[in-house]
Structure 1
Amino acid sequence: MDIDLHPIAIREVVEGYTDDGEGGVFGYAGHLNIRPPYQREFVYKQKQRDAVIDTIFKGFPLNVFYWVENPDGTFEILDGQQRTVSLSQYANGDFSVDVGGNLKGFPNLTADEQERFLDYELLVYRCKGPDSEKLDWFRTINIAGEKLEDQELLNATYYGPWLTHAKSIFSKTGGAAYGLGEKYLVGEPIRQKYLETALKWISERDGLEHHKQYMAAHQHDQNANELWSYFRSIIHWVEDTFPKYRSLMKGQPWGPLYDRYGQDPVDTDALEIEIAALIQDDEVTSNRGIYQYVLTRDPKHLSLRQFSDDQRLAIYERQGGRCANGAKCKTVGNDNGQQVFELAKMDADHIVPWSKGGRTDIANGQMLCISCNRSKGAL
């Protein structure tokens, strides 16, 4: 890749700045694509954005910018989108910053302050090279102020018409996926978390080891309709199966649950009664696992309460350090169940299991030697 330094004044970069949302973001009199397909959305927080403008007025150097020169003479930003958008929005009068102790937007600046801002030179490296080198550089160079998320790096590799359509659905705050699934997903769409989640779900459905395999297979598809249709099916199933919403439903592995249980008939009223009872059950220490439990029936999701050290000691003393299985004890050499074990070599166990109404209290507890407890778990 050929790289040459070309200092460019801010006035040239922000000339003709336009932000048409999905239509694109452009500057440099229309010759600079500020948000090419492989780039992320604008994610700077106010503090970061303001710091860029403050740097300019203090005359401090900004990190370098990288532009890729296209065969037709236009450019696209390889590194520096966040800073470029910050500069352009300020010059456009979109926000104000502290300048000399006063809060000023660009139109409020004095003539000499405006000239000082516009004359500031950015250190821009223009790069020429094939797409493979361009995207490899994008993955490795330091993006000032914000670490790229894994999905953003994958977007850099597998950009094309499929990704453009997928991002229009999954990567917009207030977009279609956000409107449908915001209550059920975690993370920010703008940082590609919704897209990443949907891709992981559909890739697991298809038996793929990593969702980048799905992206590679569909990179040149003209749309992402399959992914969007699958995502909608999942969310609609969740809404139908659990009509009463709780914040516990946010961030659950709904995709794999839908694949396994989505076709099973359910009694939604009975499920709701059970969920409400589980939330109130003090034996359940992980309420977040309740939704997985009522579908899978695997109690590991509930993190059921365990006997405390004090309870274990009390039960141990009650049994005189002997295994509760007595003469049936599985430990070799425990003649007629009379061996006394060290506390550390015994496990506390429920006499009546939780599934049958047993509680985690001393009256319902017994100490088993490790051999007996393991053999019991294997039955």
Structure 2
Amino acid sequence: MEYFQKHPKKELLHGPVVDWVEEQYRKLYKRKPRDPWREIRRLYQKGFLIKVKKGVYKYDPDLIRNKELHEFPPDIKEAIFKRDGYKCIVCGRGREDGVEIHADHRIPLEKGGTNTIENGQTLCSEHNLLKKNYSQTEFGKRFLIRLYQEALEKNDERMIKFCEEIFDIYDKYNINSHIERPDRKFKEFK
């Protein structure tokens, strides 16, 4: 962060920042730091840096001073939970099921999201982790695959047809085509 603070409002490539960090670290600890590349990305994810493009970041002290860099305030978090019935909006499980719930940002702070009720949703730990690992459309498709598999097991024709139509929409707009469409594969086993 020190390097970025010394160069405010300048678009900085990853490489020179990493070189500087490694040099400073060696002076102090006589060895290389663990992973400065990842730490720069983490500073961006926490909202301290602006990602200009791949491998280029900027520190803007004016923007950072005005940005809320914390999770939902307790009253907003409680309002989100209350609105969602204290249950995960994906699976419907909640505290009464012994499941930990989280107030999650629909649009992450680092992508311009806010700490408002409208930008919040209740997720269980499992679905919160899945969402963090995938984009929302990937998360949606992976959840839909699970729903489709359950519908096949129950022979729920209505839900099977629903899922297949949603898969058609993913195909129509070429969204997340790297995730294999399961309905063709599973129909062979029906």
Give the TM-score category using the shorter length. Answer: 0.3 to 0.5
TM-score by length of 2: 0.39
TM-score by length of 1: 0.21
Specify which structure has the bigger relative contact order, considering alpha-carbon pairs within 8 angstroms and separated by 6 or more residues.
2
State the structure with more CA Rg: 1
